[in-house]
């Protein structure tokens, strides 16, 4: 199978790595990719949000499957363009991608499908914002209605900060705060059926102890020893399949990954958000554990041949990923600083590096080119061993001014249920 992966981040490197290990993949391409994907695939420099450029490349490569990574590519209608040309594509069309592109649309789908979620109000004016903040009280949850690269949500006890975030957005969704730990579950969908992957947990706050601003994610781990073994079946029955059915009823078939961000509240499972693609950095650990060949699964979704009774196989053990972020991330990441120590980090037994925001600078030096620069993945027989491996590898890496969280998977490794 000839496969083209669209995107340039850590998620796309993780996808490419999993596809590279799939014996059915005979040719692997990334557009634009990054220095990490260049080691296992052929990179092609283009704008992945340009439907014409992407379809021309896919046709030239005779791609039998195109896998879309970032949400912006989906919203740009690249999936629509590929399907119009008869090219199998894993990733929803623009209309279906509204489930992430518009928080208000996602709430509409959930309400129609009977999916349990937080009570919410859609606000277009300052007066509506004030009324909603009064109604729900602190902690205030304010979400930009549009795409915001994982950083459009503010959860705060500071009413002024909540109101300022709302005023900076054209339209917001304000909702009740959901208590309990959060879980990410990806489901692979073919427009009619859905198959779950392994649950994971990510860490959105910038600093240890869940302090600091929201980010795109500072780390993740799987499996989750503290969740009920029945959780996945419950979520598929009450969240994922009803949402897929509702989209199909509206003649907006959902093809791709439906990412359900969940809160395990005192009142039961509630959906925090839907995303229209693999989550980052959870993908990095979930795909590490996947034993079933990935390309066949994704192609089955793209052509509508997913077996709803199928369940992927998983490698035993655990995976932890730690994000190494640039100085100033998330507000003003510094780019251009040299990165060293990757060979030493990769030499740590059970560890490897995924590139997230890197590029080759002068004289072939690897430099930071984004906020989240590297994903350091550690594996082991359990979470304690996997996180020890990840942090051992992190200690080998040098990037001026960089920072990372030191508590990824710490509570779970100590058999403590995350708060």
Fold (CATH) for 2-93: Rossmann fold (3.40.50)
Region(s) of the chain under CATH 3.40.50.20: 2-93
Question: Residue 34, class by beta-carbon neighbours within 10 Å (0-12 exposed, 13-18 middle, 19+ buried)?
Answer: buried
Question: Could you tell me how many helices (H) and strands (E) the chain has, helices first?
Answer: 15, 24
69 within 8 A of 32, measured Cβ to Cβ: no
Alpha-helix runs per DSSP H in 260-398: 282-289, 294-303, 342-346, 383-394
Architecture of domain 119-175: 2-Layer Sandwich (3.30)
Q: Pick 318-414's CATH classification: 3.90.600.10, 3.40.50.2300, 1.10.10.1100, 1.10.3720.10.
A: 3.90.600.10
pLDDT of residue 146: 78
pLDDT of residue 149: 57
Binned average pLDDT, 10 residues per bin, the chain of 419 residues = 98 98 97 98 98 98 98 97 98 97 93 93 93 93 77 86 92 90 97 98 96 94 96 98 98 98 94 96 98 97 93 97 98 97 98 98 93 98 98 98 98 88
pLDDT of residue 155: 87
Residues 6+ apart with CB under 8 A from 276: 71, 74, 91, 92, 96, 97, 99, 100, 101, 256, 257, 258, 259
Dump pLDDT digits (tens) for 341-382: 999 999 999 999 999 999 999 888 999 999 999 999 999 999
pTM confidence score? 0.93
Q: How far apart are CA 169 and CA 145, in angstroms?
A: 8
String of DSSP letters for 313-341: -B-SSEEEEEEEE-TTTTTS-----BEE-
Region(s) of the chain under CATH 3.30.470.20: 180-303
Question: Residue 88, class by beta-carbon neighbours within 10 Å (0-12 exposed, 13-18 middle, 19+ buried)?
Answer: buried
Fold (CATH) for 180-303: D-amino Acid Aminotransferase; Chain A, domain 1 (3.30.470)
pLDDT of residue 419: 67
């Amino acid at each position: 199978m000839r496969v083209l992966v669209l995107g340039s981040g850590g998620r796309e490197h993780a996808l490419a790595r999993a596809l590279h290990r799939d014996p059915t993949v005979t040719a692997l391409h990334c557009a634009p990719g990054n220095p990490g994907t260049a080691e296992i695939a052929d990179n092609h420099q283009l704008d992945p949000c340009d439907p014409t450029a992407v379809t021309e490349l896919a046709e030239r490569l005779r791609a039998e499957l195109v896998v879309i990574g970032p949400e912006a590519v989906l919203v740009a209608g690249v999936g629509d363009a590929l399907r119009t040309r008869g090219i199998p594509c894993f990733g929803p069309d623009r209309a279906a991608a509204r489930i992430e592109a518009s928080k208000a649309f996602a709430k509409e789908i959930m309400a129609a499908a009977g999916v349990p979620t937080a009570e919410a109000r859609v606000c277009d004016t300052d007066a509506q914002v004030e009324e909603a903040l009064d109604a729900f009280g602190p902690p205030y949850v304010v979400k930009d209605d549009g795409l915001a690269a994982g950083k459009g949500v503010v959860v705060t006890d500071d009413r002024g900060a909540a109101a300022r975030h709302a005023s900076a957005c054209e339209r917001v969704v304000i909702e009740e705060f959901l208590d309990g730990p959060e879980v990410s579950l990806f489901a692979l969908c073919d427009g009619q059926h859905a198959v779950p992957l392994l649950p994971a947990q990510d860490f959105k706050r910038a600093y240890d102890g869940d302090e600091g601003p929201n980010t795109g994610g500072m780390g993740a781990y799987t499996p989750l020893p503290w969740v009920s073994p029945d959780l996945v079946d419950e979520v598929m029955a009450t969240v994922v399949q009803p949402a897929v059915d509702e989209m199909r009823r509206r003649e907006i078939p959902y093809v791709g990954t439906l990412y359900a961000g969940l809160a395990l509240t005192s009142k039961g499972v509630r959906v925090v958000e839907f995303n229209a693609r693999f989550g980052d950095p959870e993908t990095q650990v979930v795909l590490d554990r996947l034993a079933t060949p990935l390309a066949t699964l994704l192609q089955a979704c793209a052509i509508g041949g997913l077996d709803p009774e199928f369940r992927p196989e998983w490698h035993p053990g655990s995976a932890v990923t730690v994000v190494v972020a640039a100085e100033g991330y998330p507000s003003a990441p510094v780019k251009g600083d040299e990165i060293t120590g990757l060979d030493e980090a990769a030499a740590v037994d059970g560890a490897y590096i995924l590139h997230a925001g890197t590029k080759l600078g002068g004289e072939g030096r690897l430099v930071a080119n984004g906020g989240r620069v590297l994903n350091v993945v550690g594996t082991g027989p359990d979470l304690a061993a996997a996180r020890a491996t990840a942090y051992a590898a992190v200690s080998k890496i040098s990037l001026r001014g960089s920072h990372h969280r030191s508590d990824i998977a710490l509570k779970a490794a100590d058999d403590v249920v995350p708060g």
